[in-house]
Chain A
Amino acid sequence: MSAVQEALPAVRGSRDAIVRRFALTDAIFHGMTRAAAILVLVLLGGVAISLFAGSWQALSTFGFSFLTSESWNPVTEKFGALAPIYGTIVTSAIAILIAVPLGIGIAIFLTELCPRPLRRPIGMAVELLAGIPSIIYGIWGLFVLAPFLQTTIQPFIISVFHGIPGLNSLFAGPPYGIGLLTSSLILAIMVLPFITSITKDVFDTVPPVLKESAYGIGCTTWEVTRRVVIPYTRIGIMGGVMLGLGRALGETMAVTFVIGNAHRISTSLFAPATTISATIANEFTEAVGDLYTSSLVALGLILFVITFLILAIARYMLMRIDARTGA
């Protein structure tokens, strides 16, 4: 009894020491994880600050005209971003126009029509499209798709729309194979898996009871999709589309191969053009002079701001649908 009492302070002392050591190591680990989380914020902040600093020279030289001028002349050092901005927006918009119906169609196929055992393999195959590196799309587009378009599709379209006003300037020759439309097609394939997988995910959040009750009053599959599933998941689909748009806007290598890199705005979709990211990829290492480099970084800043806004809206929409389903 007395021996135990004598030993108690020592035991308590060593126990306190162990608890203190545990508390210390835990605090260190906690601090490390917290620091890593904060580093993620710092990274994005660093990107914004460094792009702004790097583009300061160009922005202060050209001011607002950097956004509105079409000239891009390394010799006279006059730079304007209008042509790349135009190319970026047009290629991305056409890509989205192609990819959205396709993506929603595939999502309907996967959730409503596809036999259960095939769902996973087909879903995975579509998602593999997202895993293929963008440079592969570029080399495929340049050597396979562009020659095919040049020899087959484009001459046909040009001859069909030849006499029709409006359309004849939209699809004016000569057929280069490369250009705005080819880039849009490749971008459409590249963003398709993102739109498909998000649309499929939000389709899965529709409560079965809603669909069953619609089927119960005799609706066809298309009517259930059109009147119940799509209205219910509208925000989520929009989020997926915006996410795809964000990807398309920033896509670099695939576009660099097939856009043709011409700093001009043409009414024809077959004409070579350029995008922000393609311009940077093509010209950055060849840019001589601080003003040239700074102008390219300024293009990067514009791209960063546009994609940041689009992606932020997309994430906000997807978060809202997540919150509603409690997922």
Chain B
Amino acid sequence: MSTASSLHSRRKSRNSVMMTLCVIAAGIGLAWLALILGALVYKGTAGLSFDVFTQMTPPPGDAGGLLNAIYGSVVMTVIAVIVGTPIGVLAGTYMAEYGRFSKLTTVVRFINDILLSAPSIIIGLFVYELMVRPMGHFSAIAGAVALAILVIPVVVRTTEDMLNLVPNALREAGTAIGAPRWVVIKSVAYRAALSGIVTGILLSIARISGETAPLLFTALNNQFWSSNLNAPMASLPVTIFQFALSPYEEWQQLAWTGALIITLTVLALSIVARSLTGRREDK
């Protein structure tokens, strides 16, 4: 009787120890997020002013802003999304609509998942070999292509997943009134999966807007205003990289402010994306 009760209390106390450790683990995860965001807000807001959005990146020791870097980031992101999204959506459409059970789909899904988590610096090297070396110089368009390659797997994945969620009865209803398959896809399946596909695009923008490694040797960087797509172009992440590692205090301050801008953008995008799909799942 006494051994049974001691066994019982031993099991209970082990349980509470392990469960406390789990709570601590969750606490550590949340604390880390708070620490990073806290430092970002604390150091970033110190340099946040109107000048950041209206002035060019300064030479060392001068005051200035991040205008050309923000512009470059926006331009390259927009091109990347315009190039990457249609390819991603079409590939996802094939996998969910035309070839749902084909061998090709299985292979593409596997390869796409690997591309999704492949190191982005590898993509940068690929585009360097593909475009920068043949063209002989760094360029914004090479940077945009590198980002587009990062957009594709995210969009493929979400498009396929969301189209797979569309009930087949909807497609059958469309087919029954004599609509050809592509019309059913366009007017029924896409419409039903729209919020999911938009989520994928938002997530891909969130992903590429903070990417630095693939831009280092494709778009390089530019201290000056440039809207020439065939020339090196500044971008926010690369500017942060350069400024943060510099010994100049003004540059480091701008790096923190830029970091805050990127993080807020990315977090806002991913929260919007999540709330879009969250509503779907609740239904």
Contacts and interface: CB of A to CB of B under 8 A. Distances in A.
Interface of A: 22-23, 25-26, 29-30, 32-41, 43-44, 46-47, 50-51, 53-54, 101-106, 108-110, 112-114, 120, 122, 124-126, 128-129, 131-140, 142-144, 189, 192-193, 196, 220-223, 225, 243, 246-247, 249-253, 256-257, 277, 280-281, 284-285, 297, 300, 303-304, 307-308, 311-312, 315, 319
A135 B237 contact: yes
A230 B216 CA distance: 42
Chain A interface SS verdict (over half): helix
Contact of A109 (B12, B22, B99): B22
B117 to A, nearest CB: 5
Contacts of B128: 54, 284
Interface in B190-240: 206, 209-213, 216-217, 220, 237, 240
B177 interface: no
Contacts of B12: 220
A259 to B, nearest CB: 12
B122 A221 contact: no
Given A39-B87, A135-B237, 12 more contacts: A26-B180, A34-B94, A40-B112, A51-B126, A53-B129, A124-B271, A132-B263, A143-B43, A222-B19, A225-B18, A285-B216, A303-B119
A253 B266 CA distance: 17
Contacts of B97: 33
A193 B180 CA distance: 43
B118 interface: yes
A304 B86 CA distance: 27
A211 B146 CA distance: 47
Nearest to A27: B182
A142 B26 contact: no
Given A40-B153, A277-B119, A312 B94 contact: no
B176 interface: no
B280 interface: no
B240 A139 contact: yes
Contacts of A138: 241, 244
B104 interface: yes
Contact of A105 (B26, B185, B240): B26
B180 A135 contact: no
B105 interface: yes
Contacts of A304: 118-119, 122
B57 interface: no
B11 A223 contact: yes
B114 A134 contact: no
Contacts of B126: 46-47, 50-51
A126 B33 contact: yes
A319 B266 CA distance: 29
B152 to A, nearest CB: 7
Contacts of A144: 35, 39
Contacts of A39: 87, 91
A25 to B, nearest CB: 6
Interface string B103-131: 01101101111110111111101101110
A119 to B, nearest CB: 11
Given A247-B117, A249-B119, A285-B216, A110 B26 contact: yes
Contacts of B19: 108, 112-113, 221-222
7 contacts: A40-B91, A109-B25, A126-B29, A132-B36, A135-B212, A222-B15, A253-B213
B42 to A, nearest CB: 10
Contacts of A137: 36
B15 A277 contact: no
B68 interface: no
